[in-house]
Amino acid sequence: MVKPRILHVLRPAEGGMKNHLFSLLKHLDKDQLENIVACPGGELAGVFSKIAAEVIDIPLKGNLSPITDSKCIMRLKDILKSRNICIMHAHGSKAALVGRIAARLAKTPLIFYTVHNSIFYSDWHNLKLAAMARVEKKLAQYTDRIISVSDALRQEIIDRTGLSPQLPVTVYNGIETGQFYFVQNKKQLRRELGLPPEGKLVGTVARLSAQKGVSYLIKAIPHISEKGVRFVITGDGPLREELESLAKQLNLQEAVIFTGARNDIPNLLAALDVFVMPSVTEGLSIAILEAMASSLPVVASRVGGIPEIVREGVTGILVPSRDEKALAKAVSELLNNEEKASSMGMAARQQVELNYSASAMGSRVAELYREALAGKSF
């Protein structure tokens, strides 16, 4: 029996989306499915070469680029046809744009799309929002299944586009909980990581883009009551220089540590006392799940799917987005009450183990593949 071939399409990505796809591939049965990844070459391709049956270089950029995108569509069309792909599975809105057009041209039998974050960014002008809704509604006609990583994101898709509620389905992100751990005495670990061994450490792990709202964390720092706290910002992105300049403007050079992108996230999280995710928009943050798996209390914006994973007063504190004073108050509350912070961290670990494992995510996606493939002949 020939195994169904699935082509996973991904734009340049670090962090959540990359980790999501890697975990998904790890937990899809290789005896039942052949998974191929199409993504930009380089480091990203190297990551997936460890786990996919094949990795194919495509010229896919993160932003709209008509000439490059057209080339990418034709490249994907050729890949889909030459490798007899059964399911084209796009991850993220940019991959879904070019991937679905290519799959339509190639007459690929089944089209899947995982929505990782809002495709209707709240800062956009109404005309841009309306145009995006029209494009998504049109492309959805050629999509057999839309997977949303949170219920909030699924409902937004339905509300904005008028799609049938049967088309989008929620499959929560899952993580490898065994990779994350808690240490009581953090000094030695911090020294090994090049972080200050003494005092409290508050941190975030995020792509440094407007959607992640890291500027609000930096602006919150002067309002945090406990003194001598250091803030670790891990990640890279288009706003890194701007955020570093903001920290200098506020005379926070000594308080804020920009680590850049790291490949030792479990160790870094274990070194923290409090985790913060000040997102402006969010699907279902893998970084929050990883922090919770590290037994950290979480302070996060009440946006998107975050309230579905952070239980107010149990595993963390939710605050309005774009509100640095509310953010500072919540962080101060946890820094000044170690017993409460510890209790939230332990509850967070238990919640992730019960509900957000990568194996459960993989099983559910595999089930959706089987349902779609049933009755199809190739």
What would the pLDDT profile of 290-333 be if each residue is shown by its tens digit? 999 999 999 999 999 999 999 999 999 999 999 999 999 999 99
Mean pLDDT confidence for 95-111: 96
- Assign domain 5-174+357-373 one CATH number from 3.40.50.720, 3.40.50.300, 3.40.50.2000, 3.40.50.150: 3.40.50.2000
Longest dimension (CA), the chain: 66
pLDDT at position 328: 98
Q: SS in 3 state form for 86-155? A: CEEEEECHHHHHHHHHHHHHHCCCEEEEEECCCCCCCCCCHHHHHHHHHHHHHHHCCCCEEEECCHHHHH
Nearest-angstrom CA–CA distance, 211 and 85:
34
pLDDT band at 375 (very low <50, low <70, confident <90, very high): low
Tokens of 66: 């008509």
pLDDT at position 141: 85
Element (H, E) at 85: none
Nearest-angstrom CA–CA distance, 139 and 223:
46
Q: Where are the domains of the chain?
A: 5-174+357-373, 177-355
Please write the tens of the pLDDT for every residue from 16-44: 788 899 999 999 999 999 999 999 988 88
Domain spanning 177-355, CATH architecture: 3-Layer(aba) Sandwich (3.40)
% of the chain beyond a pLDDT of 70: 96
Domains 5-174+357-373 and 177-355 share a fold: yes
Q: What share of the chain is helix, strand, coil (3-state, %, to 5)?
A: 45, 15, 40
Residue 350: left (phi > 0), alpha (psi -120 to 50), or beta? alpha
Nearest-angstrom CA–CA distance, 100 and 272:
41
Phi, psi of 300, rounded to the nearest 5 degrees: -150, 160
Reference 153, options 279, 61, 65; nearest CA is 279
Tokens of 181: 């751990």
Nearest-angstrom CA–CA distance, 145 and 149:
13
Please write the tens of the pLDDT for every residue from 210-240: 999 999 999 999 999 888 999 999 999 999 9
pLDDT band at 118 (very low <50, low <70, confident <90, very high): confident
Tokens of 347: 């509850």
pLDDT at position 125: 56
Three-class DSSP category at 187? helix
pLDDT at position 128: 62
Mean pLDDT confidence for 142-146: 93
Three-class DSSP category at 275? strand
Tokens of 201: 């450490």
